[in-house]
C-alpha cells in the first residue's frame, strides 16, 4: 500500500525556507517519493482546519515514507523546515 505524507505549513522565514525547498526534492526522489500537491494554497470546504500551504507526498509504501523521514542526510533540512515554518505532518496509508 502506498504511503502519503501530508504537510500543513505556514512559512515564518521565507529566505531560510527557500534552501529547504530547493534541496528536499532530491531526498524525496531518493526514497522513490513524488509530489502530489506542492505548496498549494487550499480552499476550505468544511470544518475548522485552515492550512496555509499544503504538500502531499506519495511513496510506494509507508515504510519508504518513514525511511525518507529517518534519512540521516536529510535531518539538517528537516531541522531547517522546523525553524522556518510552523508545520504539522501526518502519514497515511493508501487504499491501493
pLDDT of residue 95: 87
Give the pTM.
0.94
The pLDDT, as a whole number, for residue 33 is 98
The reported pLDDT for the residue numbered 74 is 98
48-87 residue pLDDT tens: 998 999 999 999 999 999 999 999 999 999 999 999 999 9
> What pLDDT, on the 0 to 100 scale, is given for residue 1?
93
Q: Answer whether CATH 3.30.70.100 is correct for domain 3-42+56-93.
A: yes
What does the CA dihedral 11, 17, 21, 27 come to, rounded to 10 degrees?
-110
Contact, 82 vs 7, CB < 8 A?
A: no
Mean pLDDT, the chain, integer: 96
Taking the domains of the chain in order of start, what are their residue ranges?
3-42+56-93
Amino acid at each position: 500500500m502506498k504511503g502519503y505524507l501530508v504537510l500543513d505549513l505556514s512559512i515564518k522565514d521565507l529566505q531560510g525556507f527557500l534552501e529547504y525547498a530547493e534541496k528536499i526534492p532530491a531526498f524525496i526522489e531518493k526514497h522513490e517519493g513524488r509530489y502530489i500537491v506542492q505548496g498549494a494554497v487550499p480552499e476550505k470546504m468544511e470544518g475548522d482546519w485552515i492550512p496555509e500551504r499544503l504538500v502531499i507526498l506519495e511513496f510506494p509504501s509507508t515504510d519508504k515514507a518513514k525511511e525518507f523521514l529517518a534519512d540521516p542526510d536529510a535531518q539538517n533540512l528537516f531541522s531547517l523546515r522546523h525553524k522556518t515554518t510552523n508545520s504539522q505532518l501526518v502519514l497515511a496509508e493508501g487504499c491501493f
